[in-house]
Structure 1
Amino acid sequence: MAVQVGNRAVVLGASMAGLLAARVLAEAYQEVLIVERDGLGASGPRRGVPQGRHVHGLLARGQQILEELFPGFTQDAIDAGIPTGDLGELRWYFNGRRLRPATTGLICISGSRPLLESRVRARVQELAGVKILERHDIAALVTDEAHSRVTGVRVQQGEGGEPYTLEADLVVDATGRGSRTPVWLEEFGYGRPTEDRIHIDLSYTTRRFRLPDESILRGDLSINPVSSPSHPRGAFFSRIEDGLCVLSLTGVLGDRAPTDLEGFLAWTRTLPVPDVHEVIADAEPVGEGVTFRYPASIRRRYERMERFPDRLLVLGDAVCSFNPVYGQGMTVATLEALVLRDHLRRGTPVPLRFLRDIAGVIDVAWDFSAGGDLGYPEVEGRRTAKVRMGGVYMAKLQAAATQDSSVTSTFMKVAGFVEPPQALMSPRMVYRVLRGAKQAALTA
């Protein structure tokens, strides 16, 4: 049960993390102001989300939480013509081999990032007391004289606007990878948080297409030959809204697909399976190709700080930015929103307690993505015994999933944050993994 804990909360950034934070803050504060640098009227990708043009994944638990926070969200998406399907029935390829499809009951909402974000934003704006301040730059945090408590934020509307202060009982930083909270903390005498980095030098090169005949997909929603150390080039192909399809080609360690159509199509021939090239070879290109570079995953270890100013929270990519090929960002943001709601139900959140609690959420996602990236020998990082053993087991599990739909189902539930990682290590699952991996080796 929500309780009123303050008059005004200010959220920095209208990202998915910021919007979801605003959703739960609206239960506890009379007024919630979202400060956003970009204009939000256009339907396409915005400057603050440079990865917005590329394929995005909303994992199963993320979809479930959106449905919980915004009842009817999934059906509204279906009614609006956004393609949906069962996550386990998509065409998944790992290490060049297709996983055996499985009916999981987990819903994949296959919309573009701008569309999903706009639908969440529309639902948030319907909430009483919530207002978005568009085209506002964030100048600085405002604190008390001792810098022990944040009391507001200085903002400026446009380049010529006069700076003014928004007083707040709570400020939430959801400004993403470019967050200035580390700088502000240093200026206030707290020091910066330590950081973990995994340098993967990922690139996404994306184009949209209109298929002459969707029957070529054989009813599939998505085709995903996922990159791996054995097959570093990967792709995500999905049907999206408005009868369009989007294809993002992924390269790692500096490898990048061309943006021009001829080079783009040629690159699809180098994928470990021919499916993607066969689908788009005769498709009509829509728009130009775009590239997004992602140098490294970054985790800021706020939870390890000894001191932190009161009335300031940080979440989303501002705390941890994951390699996007694992599709974790939006779903982790939904999980963090639930943690925030739990804290709000106990009163005004205590920053370090909140940051330590969301660290538990981040741990699961970070171990999964960092472990995958460290599977590339060229990627620098500490490979503990846990990481090495996890890599060996995951390779066997993915091999077993090419033979056993039950393994596929459990894998998708864990990767989608519906089941805990321990589900992959149950005696029954270990038996199926070892048996399936042996069968896969015999059929390779």
Structure 2
Amino acid sequence: MTAMYSDRALVIGAGFAGLLAARVLSESYGDVVLVERDQIAVDAVTKANSGYRAGVPQAHHPHALLARGADVLETLFPRLGTELEDAGAVRADLGSDFLSRAPAGWAPRDHIGLSVLSMTRVTIERIIRRRVLKLPNVSLVDGVTIDGLLHDRGTVTGVQGRRDGEPFADYADLVVDASGRNSKLVSWLAEHGVHCPAPVIVNGHLAYTSRLYEVNHDLKLDWKTAYEITYAPTTKRGGAVSSVDGGLWFVTLFGAGGDVAPTDEDGFLSYATTLECQDIAEIIKTATPASKIYRVGNLRSRWNRFHKVPDWPRGLLALGDSVVSLNPVYGHGMTLAALNAATLQTLLQRHDLAKEPLTFQRAIARTAQIPWTSATTTDLGWGTKKLPPSTRLTQWYARHLFKVIPGNRQVYRSFIRVSQMVDHPAALFRPAVLWRVLLGRALSGWRRRARQR
């Protein structure tokens, strides 16, 4: 049984990570308050508002919830998957319903038995927000700009800022920063004499450009999601299209190593025609646009190493993108936030985290290690700096693994389970996979070499 430590917890940010934190904190605190910069109250319980918020510019682009993340959410919110499907989310098997192209060719299309739900960020956030705000001890205060922390002798006691042009302050026994990749927590701590190590930043030199389209039922496609990856150093262009929210397609074009998909109509289509997956260009040609074309560049990963701050104040936790924000191309963000929430729930059963905050920060640092390594090892391939031997070895193995994926169902199945964070990366080094990767073409069969683009 979860212990009730005190009366009040405050969460900065009512986005995905903040909502999950509030759901977990509601088990241990009598009063949980979500403090949000954007105006979102109307959208909390209805569909009347479109749900696109200035604080989440990434909402105009696809968001992946990996299979591991979906399992965690189902534990926190029973029957969430069913509710999302009722709202239009599309369930797809990661094998038979996916058309996937690695640099060396097309992946096998066998049924894997591992599925994911495809939806817009607006849909999943709206439904989770509605669930959280139905909890009797959770409330939302929106339209608040937080300017700093309230602090007393090594303990964070609340937040201060502005609301409707007036001073705002609120006090709590525990403050949780879930304000995302634009968090100002490092600066707020410095104002109170707490200095954090410089963050680790890996620039992926990637950009993506996205648009929603209405599904064209005249196109007879045998997949629900199609994607073609970029891969350093030669495959600079990629793309993806997925069925979302019932009657929409989300089309995204990737660019790496200096390539960027244009945001004008003709340029967007022209870029898509250079891909091997011609279904993407066909959709752009024939489907009706349902949004503008949006682009985000300079995609990078950043890790604020809060777990290494010895004088980290009591009464303060940080999670989600405030701590580790990964290049969104790889789709780890929401799943990592869900894992942070699961860690918070587990630790609250044994610790008063307001008094032992580093216990939590160190735990989520361990959780972040695998997705961080996965994302940054790939992105470092676009740079020019000499990399450590361990990173070069990992990149070498990954290149050979991708070469055998088109001809080997077992390797592809293992890769999918690892990429969905269901299995540990060690599964890719089991003998049955390792030998196929090392022997490569001898066990994979002949295939045409993918052209460089």
Same fold per superposition (TM over 0.5): yes
Partner of 2:141: 133
Query: Is 1:51 matched with 2:58?
Result: yes
Query: Is 1:428 matched with 2:444?
Result: no
| Distance of 2:247 and 2:190 partners within structure 1 | 49
| Distance of 2:104 and 2:288 partners within structure 1 | 27
What's the offset of the Cα at 1:380? 5.1
- The one-character-per-residue Cα deviations of 1:39-94 (angstroms, maximum 9, x if unpaired) are 12222321001111111111110111111110001111122222111123311111
Partner of 2:91: 84
* Aligned partner letter, 1:156: R
Partner of 1:114: 122
Higher mean C-alpha displacement, 365-374 vs 302-311 = 302-311
Query: Is 1:365 matched with 2:380?
Result: no
Which runs of structure 2 are paired with 1:39-188 in the superposition (5 Å)?
A: 39-40=39-40, 41=43, 42-89=49-96, 90-95=98-103, 97-144=105-152, 146=153, 148-158=154-164, 160=165, 162-188=166-192
| Distance of 2:67 and 2:367 partners within structure 1 | 15
* Aligned partner letter, 2:313: P
User: Is the contact made by 2:272 and 2:281 (CA closer than 8 Å) also made in structure 1?
Assistant: yes
* Aligned partner letter, 2:24: V
| Distance of 1:386 and 1:136 partners within structure 2 | 45
What's the offset of the Cα at 1:435? 4.4
Partner of 2:235: 231
User: Is the contact made by 2:51 and 2:126 (CA closer than 8 Å) also made in structure 1?
Assistant: no
Partner of 2:29: 29
User: Is the contact made by 2:436 and 2:444 (CA closer than 8 Å) also made in structure 1?
Assistant: no
Tell me the SS of whatever aligns to 1:402.
helix
What's the offset of the Cα at 1:319? 0.6
Tell me the SS of whatever aligns to 1:336.
helix
User: Is the contact made by 2:227 and 2:241 (CA closer than 8 Å) also made in structure 1?
Assistant: yes
* Aligned partner letter, 1:83: V
Partner of 2:260: 256
* Aligned partner letter, 1:16: F
What's the offset of the Cα at 1:402? 1.0
- The one-character-per-residue Cα deviations of 1:193-251 (angstroms, maximum 9, x if unpaired) are 32111112322211111233265322x11110011122111112111114111101111
Partner of 1:190: 194
Partner of 2:451: none
Partner of 1:4: 4
| Distance of 1:314 and 1:381 partners within structure 2 | 32
What's the offset of the Cα at 1:331? 0.2
| Distance of 1:194 and 1:102 partners within structure 2 | 45
Query: Is 1:307 matched with 2:311?
Result: yes
User: Is the contact made by 1:258 and 1:267 (CA closer than 8 Å) also made in structure 2?
Assistant: yes
User: Is the contact made by 1:99 and 1:398 (CA closer than 8 Å) also made in structure 2?
Assistant: no
User: Measured at CA, do residues 214 and 3 of structure 1 come closer, stay the same or move farther in structure 2, by a change above 3 Å?
Assistant: farther
Tell me the percent identity.
36
Higher mean C-alpha displacement, 237-246 vs 28-37 = 237-246
What's the offset of the Cα at 1:427? 1.6
* Aligned partner letter, 1:233: R
| Distance of 1:324 and 1:381 partners within structure 2 | 23
User: Is the contact made by 1:414 and 1:421 (CA closer than 8 Å) also made in structure 2?
Assistant: yes
Tell me the SS of whatever aligns to 2:39.
coil
What's the offset of the Cα at 1:181? 1.1
Tell me the SS of whatever aligns to 1:81.
coil
Partner of 1:217: 221
Gap runs ≥5 in structure 1: none
Tell me the SS of whatever aligns to 1:193.
coil
Tell me the SS of whatever aligns to 1:175.
coil
Return the TM-score normalized by structure 2: 0.92
Higher mean C-alpha displacement, 272-281 vs 239-248 = 272-281
Gap runs ≥5 in structure 2: 44-48, 449-453
| Distance of 2:362 and 2:14 partners within structure 1 | 23
Aligned length: 437
Query: Is 1:19 matched with 2:19?
Result: yes
| Distance of 1:286 and 1:375 partners within structure 2 | 35
Partner of 2:46: none
1:291 to 295, 298, 306: 295
Higher mean C-alpha displacement, 329-338 vs 205-214 = 205-214
- The one-character-per-residue Cα deviations of 1:308-367 (angstroms, maximum 9, x if unpaired) are 000101111111111111100000000011111111111321221211110111110010
User: Is the contact made by 2:73 and 2:338 (CA closer than 8 Å) also made in structure 1?
Assistant: yes
* Aligned partner letter, 1:227: T
User: Measured at CA, do residues 214 and 33 of structure 1 come closer, stay the same or move farther in structure 2, by a change above 3 Å?
Assistant: farther
What's the offset of the Cα at 1:156? 2.6
2:418 to 381, 390, 414: 414
User: Is the contact made by 1:12 and 1:175 (CA closer than 8 Å) also made in structure 2?
Assistant: yes
* Aligned partner letter, 1:217: L
User: Measured at CA, do residues 31 and 290 of structure 1 come closer, stay the same or move farther in structure 2, by a change above 3 Å?
Assistant: same
Query: Is 1:442 matched with 2:449?
Result: no
- The one-character-per-residue Cα deviations of 1:102-124 (angstroms, maximum 9, x if unpaired) are 43332211101111111111111
